Amino acid sequence: MTSTPDDVSAGRAAGATGYLEDPAPGYGALPPRCTFTSTAARLPLDGDWRFHLAPTVGAAPAGFQLPDYDDAGWDLLPVPSSWPMHGHGRPAYTNVVYPFPVDPPYVPTDNPTGSFRRVFDVPDTWQDTDAVLRFDGVDSCARVWLNGRELGVIKGSRLPSEFSVREALKVGENVLAVEVHQWSAGSYLEDQDMWWLPGIFRSVAVVRRPPASITDFFVHADFDHLSCQGTLRIEVQADCPVRLVIDELGITDRPADEVFVIDDVEPWTAETPRLYDGELVTDDERVPIRIGFRTVAIVDGQLTVNGRPILIRGVNRHEHHPDFGRAVPTEAMREDLLLMKRHNVNAIRTSHYPPHPAMLDLCDELGFWVIDECDLETHGFHLLDWKRNPSDDPVWAPAYLDRMHRTVERDKNHPSIVLWSLGNESHTGANLAAMANWTRDRDSSRPIHYEGDAACEYVDVYSRMYASPSEVELIGKREEEQHPNVDAATDAKRRSMPFILCEYGHAMGNGPGGLSEYQELFERYPRCQGGFIWEWLDHGIRQHTADGREFFAYGGDFGEPIHDGNFVIDGLVFPNRTPSPGLLEFKKVIEPVVMNGADGSLVIENHYDFVTTAHLIFRWTLESEGEPVADGLLAVPPVGAGQRHEVALPKLPRTDAESWLTVQAVLVADEPWAAAGHEVAWTQVQVRRRDPEPTPTGRRPQLRSDHIVFGPGVFDAARGELRRLGGLEVSGPRLDLWRAPTDNDRGGEHPEEGWWRGNGLHRLQHRTIDVKLGRTELVVHTRVAPPALGFGAYVTYRWQANETGLALTVQVEPRGQWPDSVPRIGLRMRVPSTVDSVEFFGLGPGESYPDSDRAVRVGRYQSTVDAWQTPYVFPQENGNRSGVRWAQLTDADGLGLRIGGQPTVNVAARRWTTEDLDAARHTTDLVASDHVHVNIDAALHGLGTAACGPGVLPAYQLRPVDTTFAVTFSALPVEIEEG
């Protein structure tokens, strides 16, 4: 659907800016083709351009496209860039809603318009040759002139456009002028959940086309898994003979259009990204190509590659950088992919547009299954009940097809791409069906994905987002509900299709919880072929407070009148691309080697789809109370994909404390994405249980005027609360139920925060009923309840003591009409701010919650209160350490306390209160107080993914029921009494 040169005049006739509100695609560009490099000369035009930003199209400088226009007073702006990231205008974020009236194809008169000029020299050697001017991405619409001559108009932000410059380009000085509009008719098709960031955000170049040059090519490289033969067929478009060279395959200089059948070829898979380097050669240029032999097919209701079903361990990846917006440096792309590989991710959905072309080269090279998605989303029409949605309006058909053509043509030669996706959340309609039909004709080798085709009328895989585990289970059994609007045949067709979750596990803030439940279903039901976490990266924008402290901004921080707040902060990695606990959890949940030990042996299951475990060695370490005792290697023969193998555990020395054997599967040699020794999978086996700790007891509490002395503790006699432990001033511990709500607590159909806050759990009051001194115990009865409401809990604190320690048993008896769940059941206490070092024996090193605790392992960990905080961009509950046998909090001199679980507790420690954390909106709102605030919890409510998706699963919901738990406190350092 790319227009012919004749359309250029049609476009002009439409008026100076008529193209802006024309639903049609741009005009003037050459037919789309694949992205390739060549030995032919190329003039990169990236770098500083002259730039002027006007608030409306009308206010843009007239005549700026003329070569002699004086732009000396203009600013300089780097290309590629998103101009709001460079101080021109401001970023704006909305999810579903359009930030302008929904009146397609019209756009606001207030339409920021950037005028760009770039002067460049063409060397003499280019005399009389053809050339094209290439734009890899311009958001959202641009009109282009070279030396004052109009070349055409670009729409489709994340898609390339090329113009012939045969007539306009000259040897010597040339002036390129581009007018970029933030809003255009195309904006209606680009309502993806992300920042609105106009600009020339991908590269621009002039590429020489010598007389004997290649226009386009389509590599078909199939692999027959039965014969291990590769079949290579390249369709080349060129006005000259083209030869093919692939030395490794013995193809030295053959006509490129031959069909080559090659024996014993090594196939390409995401696990074995084997590429054969070659070249297409003409008299005037050499074009490097990389061939990956692989065949994608749907066989018996399963998505297969090279004859085997694959299991997707995927993420959705947007293109965002905290400093550069949509202009992501190649190094950051690479960093993304390396991090993914190191976290066992094997698949990427390019949500919701084709990524930078270099990203796909890296996917081919490093090995990922890719769903390449077209640049299309019209989600905002949802709020109009999909009335006037472009997807079913013939006026928009050319634009839809144009976008799909340009996606497929650009990316067709990437072996990593296994599915084409028509776009995202654009409802359904004839234009989408037409995209699917065209794609099927053009490339029958890849199935078609589009989640919005809920009835599966024109797609090849059944795709859903955020379905609950119970629904996924029904789908796995092919017993899902029938779609209301389809006949039995269409329903049967859908039921026979493979299933993927194109989005699940919404990684907003603290979470996602409940990932392992999905993974179990993916592994149990052949129809369920995995899914893609929403999403890879928090789209925060780096900012600084007036006093220079860094934070990441989200929707509303730039004064947008309409925005969706921090819903754009929902990734597995923070905006600066450091892993969040959610990524560590995902890595463990999807590990491709699963080990389980019991009764002296270890069962190793290979969950890869293709490779054996030969690239791994299996190391073991024995730790007693977290201290290493012995280590070694397990002799494990290579285990085939899908196979299991049992090995005997090593003979271990005796230990005298709780002991765990950790087995790690680590890389035996360097891989392109990680060094030898990198851990891929692990398990722990308990080899010696914990002996119960003796309860401090025997001392008698002494009443002294207004306080009670009891062992190392001094209590407030009226309240019965601990005020001093050994040399340390403390306050508390006392019952506490509140947590700073997570995004998931706030979210969706399970707004737990509302119930909790509405029931006053954030402002409980404590009434001391009585304080009783017994022979060897101190018993404090209280009632804890919110103001204004009738329900409450009777809480009994029962203390015992010896010389150095205190034992506390807490009994909680909720009575009356409580909400269904509570955030925590535990204690809070306060110690001086100098007590900021932590050592613990428990599950670590990172945070964990009941439905997100797969990534933590039993060990002994040293840290600090500061390092215990997880810097969620929108502050919320974080930092809980679970399974804590004991934790020591000390100051620089070793003064502090030891908390002992009976048998285990959860511990969190912060420099601010839960209330401060609850009130904060950015990390910089959190200011250290004079204390360290410690939570010691018997239980916590899970995390879930209710920000978008199911809430906390029943097994992880914390009910306000009668609860008894015990904990010990010892003063540190331990003073040994003389005599």
| SS3 labels along 827-851 | EEEEEECCCCEEEEEEEECCCCECC
Tell me which residue has tokens 């007073």. 73
CB-count burial class (<10 Å; 0-12, 13-18, 19+) for 398: middle
Q: How many CB atoms lie within 10 A of CB 106?
A: 14
Pair 89, 114: CB distance under 8 Å: no
CA atoms of 12 and 380, how far apart (whole Å): 31
CA atoms of 764 and 818, how far apart (whole Å): 13
- Residue whose CB is less far from ligand GAL, 14 or 97: 97
CA atoms of 553 and 84, how far apart (whole Å): 13
CB 555, min distance to ligand GAL, A = 12
- Residue whose CB is less far from ligand GAL, 314 or 879: 314
CB 193, min distance to ligand GAL, A = 3
Measured CA distances, 390 to 22, 94, 95, 244, 856 (Å): 13, 20, 18, 44, 48
CB 50, min distance to ligand GAL, A = 35
Q: Is 425 a catalytic residue?
A: yes
CA atoms of 656 and 688, how far apart (whole Å): 8
Pair 942, 953: CB distance under 8 Å: yes
Pair 607, 647: CB distance under 8 Å: no
Residue 751 identity: P
Distance of CA 339 to the CA centre of its chain: 11
Measured CA distances, 280 to 36, 39, 242, 518, 944 (Å): 11, 11, 6, 45, 52
CA quadruple 545, 549, 550, 551: dihedral positive or negative? Answer: negative
Binding site for ligand GAL (CB under 6 A): 95, 193, 352, 424-425, 465, 503, 506, 534, 567, 570, 948
Select the residue whose beta carbon is closest to ligand GAL and give its number.
193
| SS3 labels along 570-618 | CCCECCCCCECHHHHHHHHHCCCEEEEEECCEEEEEECCCCCCCCCEEE
Pair 434, 390: CB distance under 8 Å: no
CB 533, min distance to ligand GAL, A = 11
- Residue whose CB is less far from ligand GAL, 82 or 424: 424
- Residue whose CB is less far from ligand GAL, 279 or 538: 538
DSSP 543-569: EE-TT--EEEE-TTTT--SS--GGGG-
- Residue whose CB is less far from ligand GAL, 398 or 748: 748
CB 508, min distance to ligand GAL, A = 7
CB 425, min distance to ligand GAL, A = 5
CB 532, min distance to ligand GAL, A = 10
CB 503, min distance to ligand GAL, A = 5
CB 466, min distance to ligand GAL, A = 7
CA dihedral 649, 653, 655, 658 (to 10 degrees): -10
Pair 351, 373: CB distance under 8 Å: yes
- Residue whose CB is less far from ligand GAL, 464 or 607: 464
Tell me which residue has tokens 């037409």. 434
- Which of 425, 451, 480, 517 is flagged as catalytic? 425
CA atoms of 232 and 292, how far apart (whole Å): 10
Distance of CA 812 to the CA centre of its chain: 39
- Residue whose CB is less far from ligand GAL, 591 or 743: 743
- Residue whose CB is less far from ligand GAL, 189 or 856: 189
Give backbone dihedrals phi and psi of 521, rounded to 5 degrees, phi first: -70, -40
Pair 731, 830: CB distance under 8 Å: yes
User: 527 is written with which tokens?
Assistant: 């129809």
- Which of 179, 503, 517, 585 is flagged as catalytic? 503
CA atoms of 751 and 741, how far apart (whole Å): 10
CB 191, min distance to ligand GAL, A = 10
- Residue whose CB is less far from ligand GAL, 909 or 947: 947
CB 427, min distance to ligand GAL, A = 12
User: 819 is written with which tokens?
Assistant: 């909400």
CB 452, min distance to ligand GAL, A = 10
CB-count burial class (<10 Å; 0-12, 13-18, 19+) for 297: middle
- Residue whose CB is less far from ligand GAL, 465 or 725: 465
What 8-state DSSP symbol labels residue 91? -
Pair 605, 594: CB distance under 8 Å: yes
- Residue whose CB is less far from ligand GAL, 198 or 505: 505
- For residue 694, is it left (φ>0), alpha (ψ between -120 and 50) or beta? beta
CA atoms of 537 and 580, how far apart (whole Å): 10
User: 308 is written with which tokens?
Assistant: 């085997």
Give the number of residues written for the chain. 979
Q: How many CB atoms lie within 10 A of CB 643?
A: 13
User: 941 is written with which tokens?
Assistant: 């409510």
- Residue whose CB is less far from ligand GAL, 342 or 750: 750
- Residue whose CB is less far from ligand GAL, 565 or 760: 565
CB 750, min distance to ligand GAL, A = 16
Positions annotated as catalytic residues are 425, 503
